[in-house]
Structure 1
Amino acid sequence: MSNYNITRRNFVKSSALLSSSLFLGPTLANAVGGVFPKSPLRPVALHWLEETENRIIDGATWGVPWPMGQLKQNADFSLKNTNGAKHAVQSWPLAYWPDGSLKWTGHAMPSGVTGFNDFSLVPGEKIQPDQSLKVAETSLEISIDTGKIQCTINKKGKDLIAAVQRNGRTQLKNGRLVLHHQDQAPGEEGTVNTSEFEGKIEKISLEQKGPLRTVVKIEGKHDAEGKKAWLPFVVRLYFYQGGESIRVMHTIIYDGDEYKDFIKGLGLRFSVPMEDELYDRHIRFAGEEEGVFGEAVKGLTGLRRNPGQHIKTAQVEGKKTPPVDQFAESVSSRLHYIPNFGDYTLSQTSPDAFEIRKRTKKGHSWLKSGFGQRSRGTGYLGGPKGGVVFGIRNFWQSYPAQIDIRNAHTDEGEVTLWLWAPDAPAMDLRFYHDGMGQDTHEKQLDALNITYEDYEPGFGTPMGVARTSEMKLWILEETPQNETFNALANGIQEPAVVCCEPAYLHQVGVFGKIWDLPDRSSLIKSKIEDNLEAYFEFYHQQVDDRRWYGFWDYGDVMHSYDFDRHTWRYDVGGFAWDNSELSTDLWLWYYFLRTGRADVFRMAEAMTRHTGEVDVHHLGRFAPLGSRHNVQHWGCSAKQLRISTAANRRFYYYLTADERVGDLMREQVNAVETLKEIPPTRKVTDQSVWDTESDPNKVYVSFGTDYGAVSAAWFTEWERTGDDKVKEKLMNSMRTIAAQPKGFFSAGAKMDLRTGEFDRVDHQRASASHLSAVFGLMEVCAELVQNIDMPEFEAAWIQYCELYNAGEEEQEEVLGNALGKMNLGQGHSRLTAYAAKIKNDPELAQRAWREFVGGGAGYRLREPYVRTLEGDEVLRPMEEAHVSTNATAQWGLAAIQCLGLIGDELKW
């Protein structure tokens, strides 16, 4: 159930059940309805992530955190702009503190609000909107009126969007999903059979119904007569009061047979009624930078006879031409001889090349009309009576993409936004090798020693992987001028994002209170800050240098580098795509929190979209687990919680209130149950450790990577909903880890899925894995300690943090045995720093800084040496550096958290 639908009654009921072991500020009875009177909150300063010049904003949604105990559940809010004028804002809860007060709130502003450059959110004041969205629902349809456009959405059938009107005129209709299926792989011999499917609605809901923002969620599968329905979809349609546009979030989940079900085309199609004269029907495509391709169905320029300069100028500018009797007679009498070009295509089949072509109609040849490198993926079809601007976000980054305009010379033009371009070869998701005889665990482990690939037959399947794309449809009263068209295209490619200042986020203490703002108060701190920037800049540039783009790839980075070939190891087993290994996502998000940089946000946003969708199985045998790093994102047989963890999604969800990412986190609430069928250590540990066949309610869970993900999912669900059952399981798990003979060093135990309680292990030996705390466990435990008053759990966690990097004598003295040679010492320096902070131990803090500067399994304190490669060593000029993504992510997190926790102790 969506957290928007939590009623006041249910919230009070669930909150009242919270354990007395939580930090309880004001009484829960007071947690319902406004601002706590003891400390009035000041307005929260907001700003746009990027400059808004040359970008049209048609409403916006964002999240804001609040200090614990300050805001009651039903607090009111308003927006205040730079002129002091106050405006209405739609608000809803995203998360709660343990005392029931608001922790995160979601907000939406309508379209058309002016004067918003520097603005603020004012708690405790409510402004009624001048106008509200009008939403009506029947058994057959949902109707939404923004005040500018009126959209009718079907509840059944294949036309998701029945019609969109403006000023009483239908300008878009029959909006439907299309899928071209092919039964053979591209480029192979044999007869290829193709089929056309369309999305069919199975479920629809008003996910949010508010005065300023409404969200419609549509679910279904692609269907064709006589064929089995397949390829589930989730489409969300977003509307803002006063808006002229519809934001479309489109998710598909692959459920086919990758050896038989090849996608040749995938997209959204709709019809555009055409009423203007043929020479007043305009086509636009956005090219590179501010470039615009602009033509008309029936061209009046370049003819042998001149119709008149004012007529040609009107057509070129997209304005209505004068009446035909004002045309030169030499042209008006021969208009029927001028070809009508009704079909246009913009095709981007690589990240570096797009093509525009046109033809008169089906059955005739195409004319080459334009070429370029990176199109902004936006088009227009219409005329002076109105039309539609349409675009695909990340058009060239998510190639192959395509936009088709068809039949613009008839009464009804047709537009298809292809998320997978028919111009490109069919999508091929088959595993990239035949297994090479790895039919036993012994052989698979042996192969791991050469290619670092964890292979197992049947595990390298794309079954259940997903992809979310974003589109936008603008319903306009007339053909936009080029400047306006560019502003619309830019807004589609980089939607406006509202942000809090980093200083405010830090002050509130969200995400564990383990980070601080940039600090250059000393030479060594300046050096760390310089290195943080340098490592980010290098990876940011590598995305473009190495063309880490594509429908299934955009958002990820590579794992390891091959200096002999001067390329990342894209083709070597487990060294290729990173798939969140060692918390790349967390590094980027914590770096954004402290800097507020737009380029960091955009890279982290793309990574969140990718790693949460493509690297995770959302249905099928492996759902909802993620896949370890591999040549293909889904290729590894290590299906694990550490990849699908909600810990990597929380930042984007709370900063943007994005519903799809909310879905992804909720998928993980019961993900631990999957470990019964897919034990993570099945190849390397004795079966008696993880075998729970005798008890259907038990599953083996490690206290490291597994528990980090389990606790992140439960903690996030609890703070989003106040669900007392989830809270109870979370606290039971914490309590029973603390009760283990060696706490976290007991390594793992069998968990009761009904209660979250761990069995007490019967061994006394302490052990640890170098991976346990580097997939979000550190960050999640910091939040658990911050939010839940359980001294025994805090002590167990502090013990782990202090002893992991300790000397063997100290480990043996406390634990009874030394842990042996441990890896990732630099990355774990942040755990030592955390223990030093909690214990207020300067000596331990100095140890943490020595571990960090020492660079164990990481980097020394120097900027990465980056060199430019040119000549015959490489395909084209590009940069390389002596880095590894594992080391970079852990160095970045260690640097940020050591500075945040014990920065005052760095006196060198």
Structure 2
Amino acid sequence: MKKITRRKFVKNSVIAVAAAPAFAQLSTNANTRLVTGASATLPAAATATPSKSIAPDPPVAPLHWLEQPTEPVRGVTWGVPWPKGSVKADSGFQLLAGDTESPIQTWPLAYWPDGSLKWTAHALAHGNAPQGNWSVRPVKRAKSNSSLLITETGTHLHINTGKLQCEIARDGHVLFETLSTQNQTTAAQGRLVLLVQQQDADDEQTRFSVSRFEGKISKLTVEQNGPVRAVVKVEGHHAHAGRQLLPFTVRLYFYAGSESIRLVHTIIYDADEQKDFIRGIGVRFDVPLGQQELHNRHIRFAGENDGVFAEAVRGLTGLRRDPGKAFTEAQVAGKATPGNGQLSDNVSKRLQYIPAFGSYTLFQPTPDAFEIQKQTKPGHSWLQSAYGKRSAGTGYLGSPGGGMAFGIRNFWQSHPAQLDIRHADHDTGEVTLWLWAPRAEPMDLRFYHDGMGQDTYAEQLEGLEITYEDYEPGFGRPYGVARTSEMQLWALPATPSNAELAGIAQQIQSPPVLVPTPAWLASSGVFGGAFSLPDRSVPAKADIEKQLDFYFDYYKNQVEVRHWYGFWNYGDFMHAYDTDRHVWKYDVGGFAWDNSELSTDIWLWYYLLRSGRADAFRMAEAMTRHTGEVDVHHIGPFAPLGSRHNVMHWGCSAKQLRISTATNRRFFYYLTADERTGDLMREQIDAVKTLQTIVPVRKVNKSAPKNTENTDLATVSFGTDWGAIAGAWLTEWERTQDKAARDKLLSSMRTIAAQPHGFFTGSSLMNLQTGAFQREPTGKISVSHLSAVFGLAEVCYELTSLVDDKAFKQAWIDYCRLYNATPEAQKAELGESLKKLNLQQGHSRLTAFAAKVTGDKQLATRAWQEFHRGQGGKREAADQTIAINAPDVLNPLQEAPRVSTNGAAQWSLAAMQCLAFAGDAIGQ
């Protein structure tokens, strides 16, 4: 970091890797490639306006920390949007904190149709985060002479961050061979472990056996190699006795100057849930302890509120014979004790009789309780050592000569979790970070009922009428669902103080997040311009802002009060509330887990974009991780579709694009450049093909084809189906300038507009090779209240501003105008009225959008009338809670009985988008 004058500001440039030699080393595989930033010439049909020259005055993007870091940042990556045409594809970038410049690594995330940069990613190395005005601006790119973090040989990857060195073998079955700092190896042989229990019953007479699978690596990819940030992707399966289970992807992230590695760990479930009960999922590594005295080997676990459990393998405190303060104080502080020669004889000659505890376990079985136990040797009793509520999930094993700190992010939130230290009394200790704790009950993913005789569609529809559950035999399996977890490993030259370990735990649990300010996000034109800054200048707007805050705060509180936590649950909300039992309908068919119903994800992200609240980011991040992984089948017959709301996240037979849609993931990806989220969005590019065999309307539409598997066609609705695939194609096009995705998108848009009634035609057959829809021959009108409430609206907002297709734009405006229009107006333009429709309040935002693009003030006024009328939504504000106490409930709680997740999401989206598109008309 260096001080610069304002005069030098424009002249200086930073390390820009977008097209630097570092990127020449990246894989060009379609699944891993990163675009170099070269501008592409696109056909005129793909541009909204003719390509323009870049603005002569470069824009400056202001940034802010969601939470101001109190410790040096160990590396951070973030995304920045740029207004269309303002930044050339070959620009360099400069990062400033006040007048202090920091080197950054930069690469493109997305392009506007004219080839200018739409989103860029930036990585900051280890260092302090001074308070002040942070900003990024484009500058002339300079050549970089900085060395890269990864050096590749024929057999190994050698990573050197300056503080940490890592050796990764190209062939083999370990994540890393060694981690070192200051020429001292602190960890070795990082590997994956999976415990699987086979059992024949689940009563008191259960017989079972446990098999240990080990991770076997099949592919190693250097995804990024720069002077600031490097990413290594490891793929494989867990294997045992010729059997493979739970394919995995682990990404290892390295930052210049940092002593830590971040691991993003994904498993996909492909076991037989009737026989295979997962007993443990973990990452294991060895910690060399050498000849260190047992009383100089330190164990640390972080509890809560900065509390730390601190002990040594062989304790010197509390003995009958006092070794002296020099020894006890050093041991408690984690410092090296004086030599044994300074011990009195009555202690030194009896050291061998002090028990040495070689094994330690921190076990978090629930979100509200953890325990720490220790053991001298296998075959002997475990001692209860400590208890607490919510552990920070961080530990340490080592000595004053160095060791490893380690932690699982969202440790208690993703219970059951466990940290194990073994063999701490040997020359080499062993640490395992258990994402699923072996001490917990084994994972049981079987469907929760036997079908209750619902063998036919007719019977299943009857079941839907009573519990709202869309059941179908064989569709409630978890096969193909995934789970992504995060961990960090810190190579330390010495045992950290308790305060230092608490600081490490804080960085693991709440890593620093740098984002553009809400004002910059709103002015950049991204995400359809569908949000504005909070405005409380007039009572009508202030009331809406108050209600928006209430909904968010209420759900944030419900996550805590209702304990929406757990390995498979964390990040999701419940769908509907039971006012009789005073609980969410966790056990009632389709009313339980929400699974993105009515765009819960998009609601949270738009709320974050305009508020800049750290807690909003954390909650939206957790939801994106969950809904993109657990609620979607990534392999198997349903892949890559998602599952509608159910008691089991994967339980509903409605496997749909509206759940797996890339539109729900784009926010997190563009704000963080998260590679795993990029995988999930790319996974959806060909998702529409699955509709050939998994027909969404197979139970209710007898005229729908059973499948079109042996053709190039699939029946695709213009609402939830096309909105999802359009989001995937749009994202791939803007991320990579991919012509195939662009052409399919443009072809589908053109042929929707050419339908007899545009979007009101409802659906048609799509050619999967070209994206074009066949013209629907009957001239029918078909419209659903769900069509526009799963991301279609947000995608169309963007497309109408990106693509110069007047017919498509008019077709979308017509849909926005007419959905909530009077029956007379609908009949006059469509030939018939749309009958009884639902969610009129949620659709008020479509009316507001039409008002914005047409300049029609009457439409703007009508949008607010629709919003406040509340039909198919919420008319009166639900901003009050009621206290419910024992014995009426198990635990005292605050209840808002009129709040539903569907209603909160749609009300909030309508409110935010009406403010953005027609805010000036409020109160008229």
Length-normalised TM-score, structure 2: 0.95
Q: 1:25 to 1:64 in 2, by over 3 A?
A: farther
Q: What residue in structure 1 maps to residue 17 of structure 2?
A: none
Q: What residue in structure 2 maps to residue 263 of structure 1?
A: 278
Q: Which amino acid aligns with 1:66?
A: W
User: How far apart are 1:7 and its partner, in Å?
Assistant: 5.5
Q: How does 1:784-795 map to 2 (within 5 A)?
A: 784-795=799-810
Distance in 1, matches of 2:115 and 2:791, equals 25
Distance in 2, matches of 1:872 and 1:193, equals 43
CA distances 1:782-827 after superposition (whole Å, capped 9, x unpaired):
0000111111000000000110111111100100011100001110
User: How far apart are 1:863 and its partner, in Å?
Assistant: 3.8
Question: Paired residues, what number?
Answer: 893
Do 2:97 and 2:130's aligned partners in 1 also have CA atoms closer than 8 Å?
A: yes
Q: Which amino acid aligns with 1:904?
A: D
CA distances 1:132-180 after superposition (whole Å, capped 9, x unpaired):
4431223432111111111011223221211111122211001000000
User: How far apart are 1:202 and its partner, in Å?
Assistant: 0.5
User: How far apart are 1:365 and its partner, in Å?
Assistant: 0.6
**1:640 pairs with 2:652:** no
Distance in 1, matches of 2:753 and 2:73, equals 50
**1:833 pairs with 2:848:** yes
Q: Which amino acid aligns with 1:479?
A: T
Match of 1:120 among 129, 135, 145: 135
User: How far apart are 1:385 and its partner, in Å?
Assistant: 0.4
Distance in 1, matches of 2:699 and 2:125, equals 54
Match of 2:94 among 57, 64, 78: 78
Q: Which sits farther off after the overlay, 566-575 or 117-126?
A: 117-126
Distance in 2, matches of 1:156 and 1:533, equals 52
Q: How does 1:228-627 map to 2 (within 5 A)?
A: 228-275=243-290, 276-627=292-643
Which secondary structure state, in structure 2, belongs to the residue aligned with residue 136 of structure 1? strand
Q: 1:750 to 1:644 in 2, by over 3 A?
A: same
Do 1:691 and 1:700's aligned partners in 2 also have CA atoms closer than 8 Å?
A: no
Q: Which amino acid aligns with 2:237?
A: K
Do 1:699 and 1:752's aligned partners in 2 also have CA atoms closer than 8 Å?
A: yes
**1:189 pairs with 2:205:** yes
Distance in 2, matches of 1:102 and 1:819, equals 42
User: How far apart are 1:40 and its partner, in Å?
Assistant: 1.9
Do 1:132 and 1:146's aligned partners in 2 also have CA atoms closer than 8 Å?
A: no
Do 1:96 and 1:102's aligned partners in 2 also have CA atoms closer than 8 Å?
A: yes
Which secondary structure state, in structure 2, belongs to the residue aligned with residue 348 of structure 1? strand
CA distances 1:78-106 after superposition (whole Å, capped 9, x unpaired):
22122x12221100000000000000001
User: How far apart are 1:864 and its partner, in Å?
Assistant: 2.4
Do 1:56 and 1:491's aligned partners in 2 also have CA atoms closer than 8 Å?
A: no
Q: Which sits farther off after the overlay, 350-359 or 179-188?
A: 179-188
Distance in 1, matches of 2:372 and 2:203, equals 24
Do 2:72 and 2:129's aligned partners in 1 also have CA atoms closer than 8 Å?
A: no
Q: How does 1:126-137 map to 2 (within 5 A)?
A: 132-137=147-152
CA distances 1:252-289 after superposition (whole Å, capped 9, x unpaired):
00001110111001100000000321111111100011
Distance in 2, matches of 1:842 and 1:255, equals 55
Distance in 2, matches of 1:171 and 1:313, equals 25
Do 1:96 and 1:719's aligned partners in 2 also have CA atoms closer than 8 Å?
A: yes
CA distances 1:360-385 after superposition (whole Å, capped 9, x unpaired):
11111111000011000000000110
CA distances 1:725-773 after superposition (whole Å, capped 9, x unpaired):
1101100000000000000000000000010000001122322101000
Which secondary structure state, in structure 1, belongs to the residue aligned with residue 208 of structure 2? coil
User: How far apart are 1:571 and its partner, in Å?
Assistant: 0.3
Q: Which amino acid aligns with 1:764?
A: G
Q: Which amino acid aligns with 1:329?
A: D
Match of 2:194 among 164, 179, 204: 179
Q: Which amino acid aligns with 2:837?
A: M
**1:202 pairs with 2:227:** no
Distance in 2, matches of 1:125 and 1:4, equals 28
Q: What residue in structure 1 maps to residue 788 of structure 2?
A: 773
Do 2:288 and 2:428's aligned partners in 1 also have CA atoms closer than 8 Å?
A: yes
Q: Which sits farther off after the overlay, 854-863 or 650-659?
A: 854-863
Q: What residue in structure 2 maps to residue 712 of structure 1?
A: 727
**1:758 pairs with 2:783:** no
Distance in 1, matches of 2:306 and 2:878, equals 36
Match of 1:865 among 868, 880, 900: 880
Q: 1:564 to 1:390 in 2, by over 3 A?
A: same
Structure 2, gaps ≥5 residues long: 1-28
Q: 1:631 to 1:478 in 2, by over 3 A?
A: same
Q: 1:202 to 1:377 in 2, by over 3 A?
A: same
User: Identity, % of aligned pairs?
Assistant: 57
Q: 1:326 to 1:2 in 2, by over 3 A?
A: farther
User: How far apart are 1:883 and its partner, in Å?
Assistant: 0.7
Match of 2:66 among 49, 54, 60: 49
CA distances 1:548-575 after superposition (whole Å, capped 9, x unpaired):
0000000000000111111000000000
Distance in 2, matches of 1:435 and 1:80, equals 61
User: How far apart are 1:846 and its partner, in Å?
Assistant: 1.1
Do 2:149 and 2:229's aligned partners in 1 also have CA atoms closer than 8 Å?
A: no
Q: 1:265 to 1:841 in 2, by over 3 A?
A: same
Match of 2:737 among 722, 735, 740: 722
Q: 1:176 to 1:544 in 2, by over 3 A?
A: same
Distance in 2, matches of 1:19 and 1:187, equals 68
Q: What residue in structure 2 maps to residue 215 of structure 1?
A: 231
Structure 1, gaps ≥5 residues long: 31-35
Q: 1:6 to 1:193 in 2, by over 3 A?
A: closer
Q: Which amino acid aligns with 1:568?
A: W
CA distances 1:41-65 after superposition (whole Å, capped 9, x unpaired):
2432222111312x45210000000
User: How far apart are 1:713 and its partner, in Å?
Assistant: 0.4
Q: CA RMSD in A?
A: 1.6
Q: What residue in structure 1 maps to residue 48 of structure 2?
A: 23
User: How far apart are 1:116 and its partner, in Å?
Assistant: 5.6
Q: 1:291 to 1:108 in 2, by over 3 A?
A: same
Q: What residue in structure 2 maps to residue 807 of structure 1?
A: 822
Q: 1:26 to 1:810 in 2, by over 3 A?
A: closer
Q: Which amino acid aligns with 2:93?
A: F
Length-normalised TM-score, structure 1: 0.96
Q: 1:386 to 1:24 in 2, by over 3 A?
A: same
Q: Which amino acid aligns with 1:370?
A: A
Q: Which amino acid aligns with 1:451?
A: T
Q: What residue in structure 2 maps to residue 733 of structure 1?
A: 748
Q: What residue in structure 2 maps to residue 152 of structure 1?
A: 167
Q: Which amino acid aligns with 1:45?
A: P
Do 1:171 and 1:386's aligned partners in 2 also have CA atoms closer than 8 Å?
A: yes
Which secondary structure state, in structure 1, belongs to the residue aligned with residue 840 of structure 2? coil
Do 2:565 and 2:571's aligned partners in 1 also have CA atoms closer than 8 Å?
A: yes
Distance in 1, matches of 2:471 and 2:170, equals 44
User: How far apart are 1:3 and its partner, in Å?
Assistant: 8.5
CA distances 1:638-660 after superposition (whole Å, capped 9, x unpaired):
00000000000000000000000
Distance in 1, matches of 2:143 and 2:127, equals 16
Do 1:214 and 1:240's aligned partners in 2 also have CA atoms closer than 8 Å?
A: yes
Distance in 1, matches of 2:507 and 2:519, equals 27
Distance in 2, matches of 1:129 and 1:170, equals 31
Q: 1:61 to 1:578 in 2, by over 3 A?
A: same
Do 1:131 and 1:241's aligned partners in 2 also have CA atoms closer than 8 Å?
A: no
**1:39 pairs with 2:56:** yes
Do 1:576 and 1:631's aligned partners in 2 also have CA atoms closer than 8 Å?
A: yes
Q: 1:80 to 1:188 in 2, by over 3 A?
A: same
Q: What residue in structure 2 maps to residue 33 of structure 1?
A: none
Q: What residue in structure 2 maps to residue 654 of structure 1?
A: 670
Distance in 2, matches of 1:895 and 1:249, equals 36
Q: What residue in structure 1 maps to residue 813 of structure 2?
A: 798
